[in-house]
Structure formats: structure tokens, C-alpha cells
Structure 1
Amino acid sequence: MGQLRRGGALAAVLGLLLAATASAPAVAAADADYRNPVSAGFADTFADPVVLRGDDGYWYAYGTTDPLREGERQFHRVPTARSTDLVHWQYVGDAFGADQRPPYAAPGAGFWAPDVRRIGDRYVMYVTVTDTTVSPEGSDFAIGAATAPTPTGPWTFADEPVVAPRPGGGGGWLWTIDPSQFTDVDGTSYLYYGSYYGGISVTELSPDGLRAVGQPTLVAIDNKFEGGYVLRHDGWYYLFASTANCCAGPATGYSVHVGRSRSPRGPFVDRDGIPLTASRAGGTPVLTQNGNRWIGTGHNGFLTDLSGQDWIVYHALDRADPYLDEPFGINERPMLLDRLDWIDGWPTVNAGAGPSDGDRPAPVTTGRWTSGSTPAWPAGGAPATGGSPTVGSLAAAR
């Protein structure tokens, strides 16, 4: 936009902009460094993390049901944290109260591996319900959903599971866990779920995101992958999935692999052309331990900062402190954050260097005034009704 020549008009527009962002949260300097684990300020463990940017401009992180601190021994039912800069986090409460559960959940059911998305005018949380009333034997996992008007709730469970417990052909129940939602460019919504017993499947969702519709498609073989998460990049669909044991203390070998497809239903193949459904299961490594303190790097989520840089959030174990309390108890899995790079059409963490242990440039979460470029709102976000700056623009900057 050309330069405004009337001081009164400029002052008026600047006033409107300041009013629109007056309630925006403060952000740390964009050129600051950070060090993993980013959850250290509020939690010793924060497993299966996923991060969402709310309409209020804050970033929100959600973790699996565990105690947060060593010695606490109090389980948090989907603990939630908030940040202005993706580096400094504050615990803001649990998604669900001690007695809050969906009608189909058994007493004492836990909630694992949440995934939270904005669908329509509300937030939807998909979560593993670890025990239902379908079987008295337990392990009858289901995928549940809850809705809320804000990222911190209040959360209300849907009466029916999105994916009900599934009997296994060899007995028991298939591992219907680790949900992850994806909305395609045509507006179709999908849910990925599953684990080692039964593999990873994808199903289409109803427009409100609360019901599975049609027939599911197997996209990753059993006994190999769990924690699926799909990103679309340059016309390809990338299925990220974790493999190996998540929780074996100092012997944990968890890592993240990927395959890509031209369809959200697959088939997903790795760099060598091997499908993730092949008996010789494929998967191109994205994130694995590299010899520093971090082992068991996996169960990831993703976000994009205000400069357009992609980042991966995940949990890992410190090889020198792998348990939350006594040995062979709960594995201590804090939340880590690292840059996701795309090289020759394939994703990799820190250009292939893997998990970071040391100072790293922080994500871009604030902006500055420039002129003549596309407007972008700062961390406070645009007003709830939309809109954009009318003088110059706000471009992400370090």
C-alpha cells in the first residue's frame, strides 16, 4: 500500500490497530534462544504432546494423563499449558475433572494422547479412552471426543465414541489409541488412529468431527507403528508415525518415521518406495536419538511459527533420568521442540542432526512493521471477526 499523506488518517488507523491488539499476550524477544526440554518450567513429564494456537494468540499444549512432577503422584487428566513464545510454558489446569468421563467409559479410565483442533466455531479434542464398559476385561480402548468454546474448556464429552472398541481377530481388543485429525484442502475431515496391535487406520469424519463415516483404510502395518500424524506439504500427504517401545526406561528406542502419498488414504511409501503396510515395513527416519542425552524421541505433533517455519513437538527421555519416581515406574517424558526441515521432498529434524541439547534459535512468535508486503497479525492474532492491518503490514521477524 502506498504511503498515507494525511497525519490524521494515519493516527486513526494506528489507533484501530492498537485497539484490536490491546488484549494480545506479551511475547518474548523473537531473537531469543531456547533449550530443551521446553516443558521444564511446569512439568517433569508431559508425554504425547500436541500444540495448538488459539484465537487469543496464545499457544496451547496438551499432554497425556500422568503426574506432572516427580513425587507428586497425582494424575492429571489431560494437563494443559499455555505460552506466548512456544518456549516458556505455564500450566493452566486439566481438561477433565476427577469424576468427568463419557457415558461409555469405565470408572477409572484414563485419557491418553490428546489431539485438539479448531473445527467450525469450537474446539474438538480427540482422546484415547483407556477402558470402556464394552468389556469387563479391560484394554477395550476407544477414541472419544470432547468439545469446548475455548482451548482451556470447559470440555464436554460426546455421548458416543468416535471410534468404538474393535475386537481383534486373535482375541482381545485392537489398540484403538493415538487419534490425530486432519482436514484436507477440500474440507473433508479424517481421523488417524491405531497402534501395534491392529496397525494405523484412517476414517473419514462427519462435518462436525464427532462421528466416523464410511469404511476405514489401513495405512500402516501392525506390530510396527503408532502415533500417526498427517501433514500436507507441496501436494504430498506425509504420514508420521512412531515405532519401537515408547516406555522402557533407559532401553527406550522410540523414533519417528514417515511415508508419503498423493492421497490422505495412502498408500504411504518411504523414500525407497516401500509401503508402510508392507510385511517388510518401510518408513524413512525423521527423528531418532543421536547420542546426546535424549532417547526415545517420538509421539509427535506439529506447528508452524509466524515466519512459516515448521516445528515438531515430541516427548523424549533423558538417559540419565528416565523415570519419574522409582525405577521401573512411570517413564519421565518431557516435551521437546525442534525445527522441522524439508530436504529433497522429505522431512527431517534440524537438517538431520536430530534432537537438540543446547541453545537453539527460538521460533518466531512476534512481528514488526514493514511496508508493501502481505499483512500478518502478531501473536495476539486478528480480531475474532477477522480483519487485517490497513497501514503497512506486520511481517514475522527475528
Structure 2
Amino acid sequence: MGHLRRGGALAVVLGLLLAATPAAAEPTTRYRNPISADFADTFADPVVVRGQDGLWYAYGTTDPLREGEKTFHRVPTARSADLVDWTYVGDAFGPDQRPPYAAPDAGFWAPDVRYLDGRWVMYVTVTNTTVSPAGDDFAIGAATAPSPTGPWTFAPEPVVAPRPGGGGGWLWTIDPSQFTDVDGRKYLYYGSYYGGISVTELSADGLRAVGEPTVVAVDNKFEGSYVLRHDGWYYLFASTANCCAGPATGYSVHVGRAKSPRGPFVDRDGLPLVGSRAGGTPVLTQNGNRWIGTGHNGFLTDLSGQDWIVYHAIDRADPYLDEPFGINERPMLIDRLDWVDGWPTVNAGAGPSDGARPAPVTTARLDERFSSGRLTGWRAPTGDWRVTGGGSGGARPLP
């Protein structure tokens, strides 16, 4: 902390507060990827939400969590107080729990969890339904719960049913992502390489698709969508290339923006995300360090107002679970999302981090805040105290 040129009383107050703070209460100020290492070797398609209890909850796709475990967790769930240290708290669904339309061998992929109208709603890919014996008839299901850890109850009907495609197959109805607009209208984005990404409006309870869907991103290129509203624009993030090619993966995140949740979305060069010459401005891609296959993202905002992206990636030196053989090892990572000239980028364009980084601001405990008259402040991730009151507006370092 720099020297104080004014406000001697403030210096005394700060000194007393810091002296009274036990060392064990020091906030987490640094993190290192992957943040799922405490509880999982792989935690693909992650999404993170903040509960009413102030804790953070992460959900991943159905897979084993650890090397050699051989147990497929049906939407594993983890909890954290600081987005750095995580604890596995169980699976969203039991081994015999499935919606009425799901086949016995159905798995649940790519969960998206939201707090809607007083309850938690999980949208999830149901990998096999009773529509077709072929087993490629994906659907989007929904489950509701009173808390982020459940208990989860499936809605009896799919939000988006399996969709017939050309040649007798079924379009890839996967990777759901819900969005609520400023006017309260609810939308769901879904889809993948076979069929592209579509958006549909949802019923008031968020459990049924209504109206006609709109294709917002071309097939054979995009999946894993997520929409954010920022400064009056709607940003459609989507992943491209093969998520699961081990050390050969080129998975990455691209973006387009629009003035409506239904698009049309265009990239920074004005190229649309639909059409034969589909665009997409890169947001997150490999940069030469250990992390490749960076994609299928979610977002969160910490208590300082900083945006963060959560995603999975592959360690080029350890790309697979050795047992069960062939499953891509995709742990959960987090990095800062910056906005530069109206466009998002990760770590100011540096990409995925490998090494200690300033952690998100996730707590407002006494050891991180002070108050003296009209002056208030908080301790930044760097460890510096910052003034947020006193009539100047905004956070600034102490003088």
C-alpha cells in the first residue's frame, strides 16, 4: 500500500483494521488454471452461477471426474466461496433418474443453470430419447429445483424435442443456453454442427419452446452458444472446430453481435454468422502454452463488476483419461473477459492463462473493507486498498 499524504485518521483506522485481521482471514488473491483440479481431472462444458447464499456453483457434463474412476457422473456439481477453491458436492441426477421421454441409456450433457421466477432451472442435453431406436435423437430437457444443489425434478416434456434432419437422421439438438432479455422475455439458444444454432422464445415459466425458431449461426461451424447483453448489443459466443480430438483439437470461441436476441449476428468485420462465408471474431483460442481446445464457455461477473469467462480446455501433455480409455480430459478454467472497442477478448487478447493470476473479487468480509466517515473501500485482488467513496466516484488506489 502506498504512503498516505492526507487523511491521517484514515491511516490510523486502516492500521487498526489490518492489525486486528487474523492472517487466516486473508482473501484469496491469486488463482491458477485449471480451477477444477481440486475435485476433477475433467469437467467439460462448465457453467457457473452464484446462489442466494453468496456461494458459487459449477455444473459440468456427464463424465467421470477422476482418472480411473469409471463412474459417469450425471451433471456433477461443485461449490466454491471464491471461484478458486472448489469442492464436489454431488451429482444433479441419480443413476435411475431421467425424464419420461429419455431412453434408459440417456446421458446429460452441457447443462445451463439459471434462476428464473423464484426457482432454479437446469437446461440439459438429453442424448437419447424414445423417438428413435438409432440413439441419435437428441433433445433439450429441463429440470427445476429450490436450490442450486437440488433436488432436481425433470419437466415431463422436452423443451425442444428431437428434430428430423435430412437423410433420415436427427439434427443435433444439444448445448442449451438460456437468456432473459431486459423486457423479461425468455429465449433458448441450442444446436450444433448438424443443423446450426437456433434461438427460440420460451414460455413464461421457461419450460417450453414457443413460436418459430430462428437460425442464428451456420451449421458445420458453430456449437456451444451463450448470449450476453452489453452496452445495448447482444453478443452471441459460440465454439468452433472439434472439441474432442485430444492433442489435435482446434476448439476455440468466436463471437458476433446484433441489436436483437434473434440476430442477425455479425462479427467485427461485418460478416454474418450465417451463410456460406460465415464470420466470427475470435475471443478465446490457444496461444502456445499448455492449453488447447479452449471452448464451450459460460460467464459470470464478480463483486467488483469484472466479467469472467469459464470454459474447458485440454492440456496438450495430458489430453485423455487413460481409463476409461478415449475420453478427452477437459478441466474447467477461468479467465478475465475484457471489452475493447465494443468487442470481448480474454486477458486483453493474451488468451488462456497458465500461471498465477489475480483472482476474481468474491467477498466483502471485514478484512477486505474499511469505512471512515464518508470514505469506504475494498482490497483489490492485487492486495492494494482502493477507495470507493468520499465523493469522487469509482474505485481508485489510496493516495
TM range (shorter): 0.7 to 0.9
Contact 2:28–2:82 under 8 Å retained in 1 = no
Cα–Cα, structure 1 residues 319 and 327, in superposed 2: closer, same or farther, change >3 Å?
Answer: farther
Classify the secondary structure of the residue corresponding to 2:49: strand
Structure 1 match to 2:186: 189
Structure 2 match to 1:279: 276
1:323 aligned to 2:320? yes
1:61 aligned to 2:58? yes
Which of 147, 153, 156 is equivalent to 1:150? 147
CA distance in 1, matches of 2:41, 2:395: 32
Amino acid in structure 1 at the alignment position of 2:315? D
Q: For residues 1-398 of structure 1, what are the structure 2 equivalents within 5 Å? A: 29-30=26-27, 32-326=29-323, 329-367=326-364, 368-370=369-371
How far off is 1:182 after superposition?
Answer: 0.3
Classify the secondary structure of the residue corresponding to 2:167: coil
Amino acid in structure 1 at the alignment position of 2:57? Y
How far off is 1:171 after superposition?
Answer: 2.5
How far off is 1:327 after superposition?
Answer: 9.2
Deviations 1:65-118 (A, max 9, x none): 000000001000000000000010000000000000000000010000000000
CA distance in 2, matches of 1:351, 1:282: 21
CA distance in 2, matches of 1:255, 1:330: 19
How far off is 1:328 after superposition?
Answer: 6.0
Cα–Cα, structure 1 residues 222 and 372, in superposed 2: closer, same or farther, change >3 Å?
Answer: farther
CA distance in 1, matches of 2:108, 2:208: 19
CA distance in 2, matches of 1:294, 1:122: 36
CA distance in 2, matches of 1:332, 1:231: 28
Contact 2:370–2:377 under 8 Å retained in 1 = no
Contact 1:242–1:299 under 8 Å retained in 2 = yes
Amino acid in structure 2 at the alignment position of 1:322? P
CA RMSD of aligned residues (A): 2.0
Classify the secondary structure of the residue corresponding to 2:239: strand
How far off is 1:375 after superposition?
Answer: 12
CA distance in 2, matches of 1:171, 1:252: 29
CA distance in 2, matches of 1:214, 1:154: 30
Amino acid in structure 1 at the alignment position of 2:348? A
How far off is 1:252 after superposition?
Answer: 0.7
How far off is 1:325 after superposition?
Answer: 1.4
Amino acid in structure 2 at the alignment position of 1:100? Q
Structure 1 match to 2:387: none
CA distance in 2, matches of 1:372, 1:219: 49
Deviations 1:193-231 (A, max 9, x none): 000000000000011100111100000000000000000
How far off is 1:170 after superposition?
Answer: 3.2
Cα–Cα, structure 1 residues 129 and 171, in superposed 2: closer, same or farther, change >3 Å?
Answer: same
Deviations 1:113-164 (A, max 9, x none): 0000000110000000000000011110000000000000000000000000
Classify the secondary structure of the residue corresponding to 2:37: coil
Cα–Cα, structure 1 residues 134 and 28, in superposed 2: closer, same or farther, change >3 Å?
Answer: farther
Classify the secondary structure of the residue corresponding to 2:333: strand
Cα–Cα, structure 1 residues 152 and 373, in superposed 2: closer, same or farther, change >3 Å?
Answer: farther
Classify the secondary structure of the residue corresponding to 1:190: strand
Unpaired stretches in structure 1, ≥5 consecutive residues: 1-26, 377-394
Amino acid in structure 2 at the alignment position of 1:313? V
Amino acid in structure 2 at the alignment position of 1:245? N
Structure 2 match to 1:3: none
Classify the secondary structure of the residue corresponding to 1:170: helix
Classify the secondary structure of the residue corresponding to 2:320: coil
Contact 2:256–2:267 under 8 Å retained in 1 = yes
CA distance in 2, matches of 1:324, 1:28: 37
CA distance in 2, matches of 1:281, 1:251: 23
Cα–Cα, structure 1 residues 197 and 76, in superposed 2: closer, same or farther, change >3 Å?
Answer: same
| Runs of 4+ residues deviating >6 angstroms | 373-376, 395-398
Identity over aligned pairs, percent: 84
